[in-house]
Chain A
């Protein structure tokens, strides 16, 4: 192949992003750039309200303060900060139809957009689904107009499902990655280094996955990890293979993460069922439980990092 022929072929290597992602990202970006201004405007209004309606400073006191610029600056800063915190706090407890509800949604979208870690994103998804469930309770209790209530209930149910399925996908992806992880480090050769074991958990796995997806874009299905050789039977299988091996060890430390992987998905499904059965409060509680489990898992993973090598050995035997 000559250089010229190769150059001609390089043009065919162009990649395009996934259309669904592109549209979703566009929506989020647009809501962020317009939402940011709305929040700022609302914070301004609240600041003004704070100053004029809630804080009454007698004229002579104002006059005295004017002679002390440091104190005045301090007061201004305090009132500005107070206004901001107050408005964000106010937005936190809103429901559809409230004037600050848009600020809450925009802030949720912004938090998702600036979070790059998949586990954190899953946590956010669970939290936001919980928010929808709580809002549902309030809408049902407080909304008097039936048609408006139905409309809001429908929208909240759809949003709840969207957040929940996003969180579920992420958790499943993380779980399959985690169950893949010991095999990766095994095939990579001897390491036994605790730090490397931990770091392989997130980003490098992303990179492998991403590269595969890139290949998939072009229609060649050669990148399925399950087809990579007999040594890689696929993520869910690996997980179930590790399970009995873990139980054989009968140590609580080894059993914990595997149990919790199942627990998250189970509780997530329970929350979904409760929501479908219109027990929105119960669903919100379940989601809170999952959030705690994910957080616990983070800490327990750090603790059990040293036992990962043993697990790999057990599963490969």
Chain B
């Protein structure tokens, strides 16, 4: 509760173009927004660039007096980030940079990497350090997460990684709270099925 109040105060200072508030805002939200953008575009470098663009956009909105303090903070921020990613994809598609060949190449490369890692573990018969199994499983879940359709991946990231409340996710995705719960349930099920399919 206190944290929410602090956030609200910070947001209000930011809306009044306070530079110190912008600095605090960056420290508070950089990790969170980077994570959201990273899972939207699956590229570390692009996620870094777009996260910077996100913060510049927020400052620009503050300058234009377009930050509504009455709005709930997180849905507003995630919507801005979401639009930045959409713009990014729009620019990419204008440049016709998304080709099926590259997609296939990427999938093949990912498969080859996974196979190499497995072979290495099997051939070398190394004594895995404690926790290595767990790390390998995390990596496998991440890989499968990227195979999910965008809608499912986004709701999983918002709900289980960013830990937003269903009502906040509902605003970001433009759906009802009930639909968000159903979508999240389906997304987890689809991810589990993908994991089991490989076994």
State the interface size on chain B (CB cutoff 8 A): 67
A188, B38: Cβ atoms under 8 Å? no
A17, B34: Cβ atoms under 8 Å? yes
Q: List 14 A-B contacts (CB under 8 A).
A: A7-B160, A10-B156, A10-B161, A25-B52, A32-B56, A113-B52, A188-B105, A196-B101, A200-B102, A203-B92, A203-B97, A207-B42, A211-B43, A232-B112
Complex CA gap A202/B138 in Å reads: 29
A69 → chain B, closest Cβ, in Å? 28
A10 → chain B, closest Cβ, in Å? 4
B146 located at the interface, meaning its Cβ lies under 8 Å from any Cβ of chain A in the complex? yes
Complex CA gap A185/B55 in Å reads: 36
Q: Which of B44, B48, B116 has its CB near the most chain A CB atoms (within 10 A)?
A: B44
Complex CA gap A188/B103 in Å reads: 8
Q: Which of B1-9, B172-180, B191-199 contacts A (4 or more CB under 8 A)?
A: B191-199
| A-B interface pairs (CB < 8 A), number | 197
Complex CA gap A267/B19 in Å reads: 42
State the interface size on chain A (CB cutoff 8 A): 63
A34 located at the interface, meaning its Cβ lies under 8 Å from any Cβ of chain B in the complex? yes
A9, B138: Cβ atoms under 8 Å? yes
Choose among B44, B104, B113, B142 the residue that contacts A209 (Cβ–Cβ < 8 A).
B44
A33, B138: Cβ atoms under 8 Å? no
Residues of B close to A1: CB separation below 8 A: 192, 195-196
B108, A15: Cβ atoms under 8 Å? no
A61 located at the interface, meaning its Cβ lies under 8 Å from any Cβ of chain B in the complex? no
Interface residues of A (CB under 8 A from B): 1-3, 6-7, 9-18, 21-22, 25-26, 28-30, 32-34, 113-114, 116, 118, 184-185, 187-189, 191, 195-196, 199-200, 202-215, 218-220, 222-223, 225, 227-229, 232
B138 → chain A, closest Cβ, in Å? 5
B23, A30: Cβ atoms under 8 Å? yes
Residues of A close to B38: CB separation below 8 A: 15, 210, 214
